[in-house]
A and B are shown apart, each in its own frame.
Chain A
Amino acid sequence: MDELLQALAQGLLIGSTYGLLALGMGLIYSVSGIVNFSHGDFVSLGMYLCFALFGALALDPYVSLAVTLPVMLIVGALIYRFLIQPVAEAHALMVVQLTLGVALALQNGILMVFGGQPHRVPSVVEAKLVMLGNVVMRMPHVVAFVASLALATALFVVLRSTDIGRAIRAVHQNARAAALMGVDVNRVKVMTFAVGIGLLAIAAALLAPGTPLMPSMGLRYTVITLLALVLGGMTNFLGIMVAGLVIGVSEALGMIYLSDTLGMILPYAVFVLIVLFRPEGILGQSRS
């Protein structure tokens, strides 16, 4: 029983950050229709930036956010404006290939600068443990959980109740009508992309402590994010967060209860089963 609770706790904690990752991708997708295949590699970039800042200035990853967040916001805006916007009219799959090129460039740029051996980003909270009954949780995971939920809530509130949030939803629901209301649709798209990438800087700081950094780890995050996004129903905020949790939990349960092979395929199998029988997503589509 303890083992089960342990696995559940683990899964929920990590899953909340998966949910955050998927929200970032979902935001970008709902406004610009882009599936960003370099999503995970930006997470990777964020983590490596933390590593670099730690090496240079001994900054804890949570602190280095002060630098990595603005940097990634700007990088996101530039990439959208100069690489993606010019080909926005092209076939959706072509834009995906462009992001694939970005992924390759990012991944290997990281490899060139940092080398291929695994690195670690230590954090002051790394060794701390939190006890809840008999369940042991690592502090970085708990921080990640709380921060992810807080951020998701903040995002939700901004989308729901602020003018800029409404503008974003308007562009998603009907870009032409939004333009007729005087919304600068292009600016909204750039901003949303930048924010989506900025979110990844935060997720990176949350995931970094205790994670071995390898240049190729981006793809794994991209795949998990895609799974959570589709499982969540593409545009359903709450659904996406729940989907992240589902994937996190199935990953954790798989690792503990099933043999190597079966354990690793569990999240994928869960994804396939749920999506087949509820193609509109775990909580149904768009109640955005």
Chain B
Amino acid sequence: MLRIEGVDAVYGPVKALSDANLQIGKGELVGLLGANNAGKSTLMNVLSGIVPTAAGRVFFEDEDITKASARRRVEMGIVQVPEGRLVFPQMSVRENLLMGGMNASARPKRAEGIARVCELFPRLAERLDQHAGTLSGGEQQMLAIGRGLVAGARLLMLDEPSLGLSPLFVKYIFEIIDKLHKDGLTILLVEQNLNLTLRFANRCYVLERGHIVVEGTADQVRDDPRTRSAYLGL
């Protein structure tokens, strides 16, 4: 479904991504692993069209989208649930979900989308009129994911969904992610939490300082010694 070839990305003088090659098949749950600042968020932002590529190409369903705008990519169904949730704090839960349906392809199906999210997350349904800024971290994560679903995600990209959440909530979120995956959604998961990701993902990539150093099925990645060294900087 998604394929990137030879992608470089720079922040000023720093090369955040070097020669990245990655594939995500339809219906797969792909994990993107690595230590802090390895380039995981950068890669995700490149896919979202927020960070431009200095080199290389991005293909979505065999269409070259390297030059496509961020807005266009959301319309196509490439939706990012950003690190830190980034909900709109002074808008209600409902309004946040409505914002999810801003893009042209999702807007006509917005009401249904919101209804589905309410089914999936009953806790959000109870708090539709509450200001998002007053939700707990876990509830905000649910909202952020819900927002992404209303946006009509065909490739849902999650950036560190477990960040700052209690272990119970992390388990819950991952169960939701697994459910969405089993229902057919293609998912790219960026995480520092190695174990949980390896448990649910089909395949994984490991990034170290902007380079993809390991790739394979979850088991292959787990057993590869380079995975550990990438995390521990050995």
A residues in contact (CB < 8 Å) with B:
163, 166-167, 169-170, 173-174, 176-184, 286-288
Contacts and interface: CB of A to CB of B under 8 A. Distances in A.
Nearest to A164: B102
Contacts of A180: 48, 50, 70, 74, 79-80, 82, 86
B185 to A, nearest CB: 17
A24 B80 CA distance: 33
A177 B102 contact: no
B103 interface: yes
A286 B133 CA distance: 12
A182 B151 contact: yes
B100 interface: yes
B91 interface: yes
Given A166-B95, A176-B82, A177-B82, A182 B88 contact: no
Nearest to A288: B90
Contacts of B40: none
A163 B102 contact: yes
B1 interface: no
17 contacts: A166-B91, A166-B95, A176-B50, A176-B86, A177-B82, A177-B88, A179-B70, A180-B79, A181-B99, A181-B102, A181-B103, A181-B147, A181-B151, A182-B70, A183-B99, A286-B90, A288-B90
Nearest to A235: B90
Given A166-B91, A169-B91, A180-B86, 17 more contacts: A166-B99, A173-B90, A173-B91, A174-B88, A176-B50, A177-B82, A177-B87, A180-B82, A181-B103, A182-B71, A182-B74, A182-B75, A182-B103, A182-B151, A184-B69, A184-B71, A286-B90
A179 B88 contact: no
B216 interface: no
Nearest to B98: A166
Contacts of B75: 182
A239 B102 CA distance: 29
A180 B51 CA distance: 12
Contacts of A174: 86-89
Contact of B102 (A183, A286, A287): A183
Contacts of B104: 182
A176 B107 CA distance: 20
A173 B50 contact: no
B79 to A, nearest CB: 8
A170 B48 contact: no
B97 to A, nearest CB: 11
Interface in B44-76: 48, 50, 69-71, 74-75
Interface in B174-215: none
Nearest to B70: A179
Contacts of B71: 182-184
Contacts of A176: 50, 82, 86
Nearest to A176: B86
Contacts of A184: 69, 71
Contacts of B48: 180
Nearest to A187: B71
A181 B150 CA distance: 10
B41 to A, nearest CB: 12
A170 B79 CA distance: 17
A287 B90 contact: yes
Contacts of A183: 71, 99, 102
A172 to B, nearest CB: 9
A105 to B, nearest CB: 33
A237 to B, nearest CB: 12
Most chain B C-beta atoms within 10 Å of own C-beta, residue among A166, A178, A180: A180
Nearest 6 A-B pairs (CB), nearest first?
A182-B74, A182-B103, A177-B86, A173-B88, A182-B71, A181-B102
A174 to B, nearest CB: 5
